[in-house]
């Protein structure tokens, strides 16, 4: 029988050969998942023998990873804002950039001093529900809507809402962007599809839902439609917080100016100095719609 550490060495070799640049981490996560261990337990039990059946199961998981399947889909877990979310192939795997979107949004809301009761908020394109669930937990008195065009994604989002006991707090709606909303909202938060599909990393395009990625020929189609719809579905003063691709700040800011002339626009960067979030602070006065 092999020891856990022998299987890990073998897995890392397999994953490195498959050009997995997080081979060590992935091998450890897969072993922890299979054995139901935490990290401390994994390291404490490296010398223990692993029976043949478990070793075969581990090799199967490693083979899936070597084919390019994301670890989060293999284990059905993704940590986001220190919360453990369920994910599967019906939804995009939440990314660290989206944690920044939430941090900047929460800071901005704190600066505004709006009370929670005041703000119906919406997470547009909720996917796994990470944004809606986090905001429902963070603002326990706020009314929260979450929309998605994908009924499959909404099933996953509802599952996560149940997991964190906020299913009664979030109104999940299927449909195109803001169209299903029953009332205007004051705060709109979204990580919409914003990539040009042909430019997406092959394994991402192969495993993750294309509807979650495809922002049209220039990556801007969903922003344009979302901001157009927001003109008539946003309470003033209101706020729109959007995750963006690193090259999209100018284009999204211009769309913001077009649909909301006079709005204040802030662009925020990630830790690598790349533009990642645009927040439109929309003032009191309605304007003539373009």
Ligand X SMILES: C[S@@+](CC[C@H](N)C(=O)[O-])C[C@H]1O[C@@H](n2cnc3c(N)ncnc32)[C@H](O)[C@@H]1O
Interface residues toward ligand X, by CB under 6 A: 91-92, 94, 98, 125-128, 130-131, 147-150, 153, 176-177, 191-193, 211-212
Q: What is the DSSP string of 100-147?
A: HHHHHHHHHHHHHT--GGG--EEEES-TTSHHHHHHHHHSTTS-EEEE
Q: Which is nearer to ligand X, 34 or 92 (CB)?
A: 92
Residue 179: count other Cβ atoms within 10 Å of its Cβ.
Answer: 12
Specify whether the backbone of 140 is left (phi greater than 0), alpha (psi in -120 to 50) or beta: alpha
Judge contact between 178 and 189, C-beta under 8 A: no
State the nearest-atom distance from the C-beta of 237 to ligand X, in Å. 24
Q: Which is nearer to ligand X, 18 or 197 (CB)?
A: 197
Q: Which is nearer to ligand X, 50 or 109 (CB)?
A: 109
Q: How many residues does the chain have?
A: 290
Q: Which is nearer to ligand X, 130 or 161 (CB)?
A: 130
Q: Which is nearer to ligand X, 56 or 274 (CB)?
A: 274
Distances in whole angstroms, Cα of residue 10 to Cα of each of 16, 23, 27, 32, 133: 10, 11, 9, 16, 39
State the nearest-atom distance from the C-beta of 201 to ligand X, in Å. 14
Count Cα neighbours of 132 within 13 Å in the Cβ-side half-sphere.
Answer: 34
State the nearest-atom distance from the C-beta of 94 to ligand X, in Å. 4
State the nearest-atom distance from the C-beta of 266 to ligand X, in Å. 20
State the nearest-atom distance from the C-beta of 135 to ligand X, in Å. 11
């Amino acid at each position: 029988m092999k020891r856990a550490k022998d299987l890990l060495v073998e897995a890392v070799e397999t994953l490195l050969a498959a050009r997995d640049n997080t081979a060590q981490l992935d091998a450890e996560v897969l072993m922890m998942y299979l054995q139901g261990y935490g990290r401390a337990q994994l390291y404490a039990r490296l010398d223990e023998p692993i029976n043949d059946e478990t070793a075969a199961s581990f090799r199967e998981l490693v083979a899936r990873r070597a084919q390019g399947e994301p670890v989060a889909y293999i284990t059905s877990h993704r940590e986001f804002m220190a919360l453990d979310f369920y994910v599967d192939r019906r939804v995009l795997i939440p990314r660290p950039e989206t944690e920044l979107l939430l941090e900047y949004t929460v800071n901005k809301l704190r600066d505004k001093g709006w009370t929670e009761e005041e703000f119906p908020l919406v997470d547009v394109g909720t996917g796994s529900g990470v944004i809606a669930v986090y905001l429902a937990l963070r603002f326990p008195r706020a009314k929260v809507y979450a929309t998605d065009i994908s009924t499959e994604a909404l099933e996953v989002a509802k599952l996560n809402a149940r997991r964190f006991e906020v299913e009664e707090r979030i109104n999940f709606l299927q449909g195109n962007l803001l169209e299903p909303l029953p009332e205007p909202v004051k705060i709109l938060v979204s990580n919409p599809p914003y990539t040009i599909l042909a430019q997406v990393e092959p394994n991402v395009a192969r495993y993750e839902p294309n509807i979650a990625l495809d922002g049209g020929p220039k990556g801007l189609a969903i922003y344009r439609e979302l901001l157009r719809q927001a003109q008539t579905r946003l309470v003033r003063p209101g706020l729109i917080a959007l995750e963006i691709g690193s090259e999209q700040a100018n284009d999204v800011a211009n769309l913001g100016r077009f649909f909301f002339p006079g709005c204040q626009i802030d662009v925020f960067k990630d830790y690598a100095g790349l533009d990642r979030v645009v927040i439109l602070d929309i003032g009191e006065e309605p304007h003539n719609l373009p």
